[in-house]
Amino acid sequence: MLLLPYSDRVAVRWGELQARAERRGRARPVNDTWIAACCLVRNLPLATFNLKDFEDFAEYDGLRIVAANER
């Protein structure tokens, strides 16, 4: 498991993501937004089984998603 450290840049990006999602009328869960912010700040793709929770971040914020295939 890889842990990405906290940074002020991640915190600011998290706030921006939360605010934009709320303005679109689609508030996102805090934990999903934090994960997206960590990936976006570090320009990393997100591998997930749960595509639907991150589709808004991909569409509106440029999050790259890699669908993790179940075996």
38-60: pLDDT as tens digits: 999 999 999 999 899 999 999 99
Report the pLDDT value the prediction gives residue 70, as an integer from 0 to 100.
56
Write down the domain spans for the chain. Answer: 8-67
Its pTM surpasses 0.85 = yes
- CATH architecture of residue range(s) 8-67: 3-Layer(aba) Sandwich (3.40)
* Phi, psi for residue 39 in degrees, rounded to 5: -70, -45
Q: How far apart are CA 4 and CA 64, in angstroms?
A: 17
Q: Residue 25 is encoded by which pair of tokens? A: 């009328």
Neighbouring residues of 13: CB distance < 8 A, sequence distance ≥ 6: 37, 40, 41
3-50: pLDDT as tens digits: 878 899 999 999 999 999 999 999 999 999 999 999 999 999 999 998
